[in-house]
Amino acid sequence: MAVATEAITVRHLSKTYATRDGAVAALERATFSVGEGEFVAVVGPSGCGKSTLLKILAGILASSSGEALLRGTLIAGPRRDIGVVFQSPVLFPWRTVLDNVLLPVDVQRLGRRPHEQVGVDLLALVGLKGFERKYPWELSGGMQQRVAITRALVHDPAMLLMDEPFGALDAMTREHMNLELQRIWLERRKTVLFITHSIPEAVFLADRVLVMTARPGRLLDDVRVDLARPRPLDVMNTPEFGAHVRHIRHLFNVQGRIDA
């Protein structure tokens, strides 16, 4: 068992929410692992527990049973070696773009001095050079989401957890962001767990696509995508790509749930 090279290990992980109308099983005995430096996408119907899974991994939600490990240690709360990107940018309007990016540095008291340049460089990497002193409301939705990604990278975490980061963007911006994310990932080689509703997006970005069932979410399939990188947008027109997408969509159809 190669524990040392496993960035994320999830075994029989379940989560049941207690609500007024009784218990809601959101996640049921999910088991999978993600290797160090791997890009893994998670797709599944709405409400199948994807965000729940991500919150557990981020250490801000306790699981009901089973275990989740990051780099071999049980998750016992938020950790400093992960960066999280949510569905919305979640920027602070009273902070400038650069100050928003440096939020993890401020919270974890890593020292502004050495990180300011890191922040500026990262912003340039996502195409936001010159926007350091702007406020979030001066940016478009896609630009704001890029700020959020920069913020998740600034403290150089080994792992990125992304919850439908491009869900709110229009198709064009979304494709552009997919290319940028791939570029950043190729440059930095972080472990990425990427949640999405979009099967093509998952296939385009990921080394592996985890397919989840409808609620309560269980793991249905683990699809390896062996397309050469860097993948251009054109790859979406290739038969291999189409075959992957069809396969995953078929899994959903068998489930009786079409969601992409």
Partner 1 sequence: MKNVRNVAVTLAIFAGSLGAWEAIVRAFAIPIFILPPPSQVALALYRGFASGLYLDHLGYTLLETLLGFIVGSLLGFFLGTAVAMNRWVEFFLYPYIVMFQSLPKVALAPLIVVWFGLGLTSKVINAALVAFFPLLVNTMVGLKSADEDRVSLMRSLAASDGQIFWMLRLPNALPFVMAGLDVAMIFALIGAIVAEFVGAQRGLGMLIQSMNFNMDVSGQFSILLILSFVGLVLNRGIMLIRKRVMFWDPSEKPAIETSPEEAVPAAGRAVATPAKERI
Positions touching partner 1 (CB under 8 A) are: 55, 58-60, 77-80, 82, 84, 86, 88-95, 103-104, 106-108, 135-141, 144, 168
Contacts of 45 (CB under 8 A, 6+ apart): 212, 213, 214, 215, 252, 255, 257, 259
By beta-carbon proximity to partner 1, the closer residue of 24 and 168 is 168
Among positions 24, 29, 35, 51, the unique one binding Mg ion when judged by CB under 5 A: 51
Among positions 46, 65, 73, 140, the unique one binding ligand ATP when judged by CB under 6 A: 46
Check: CB of residue 98 under 8 Å from CB of residue 150.
no
Q: Which does 137 bind (CB under 5 to 8 A by kind): Mg ion, partner 1, ligand ATP, none?
A: partner 1
Residue 17 sits in the site that holds ligand ATP (CB under 6 A):
yes
Residue 260 sits in the site that holds ligand ATP (CB under 6 A):
no
The residues in 25-44 that bind ligand ATP, with binding defined as CB under 6 A, are 26, 44
Sole residue written with tokens 């409400």: 47
Give the span between the Cα atoms of 239 and 234, in whole angstroms.
11
Residue 50 sits in the site that holds ligand ATP (CB under 6 A):
yes
Instruction: For residue 164, count CB atoms less than 10 angstroms from its CB and return exposed for 0-12, middle for 13-18, buried for 19 or more.
Output: buried
Residue 19 sits in the site that holds ligand ATP (CB under 6 A):
yes
**β-sheet with 22-35: strand ranges across:** 22-35, 6-19, 65-70, 73-74
Residue 21 sits in the site that holds ligand ATP (CB under 6 A):
no
Residue 135 sits in the site that holds ligand ATP (CB under 6 A):
no
Instruction: Tell me how far, at minimum, the Cβ of 164 lies from partner 1, in Å.
Output: 12
With vertex at residue 218, the alpha carbon angle to CA 213 and CA 219, rounded to the nearest 5 degrees, is 85
Distance of CA 91 to the CA centre of its chain: 17
Instruction: Tell me how far, at minimum, the Cβ of 94 lies from partner 1, in Å.
Output: 4
CA atoms within 13 A on the CB side of 200: 16
Binding-site ranges for ligand ATP (CB under 6 A): 17, 19, 24, 26, 44, 46-52, 197, 215
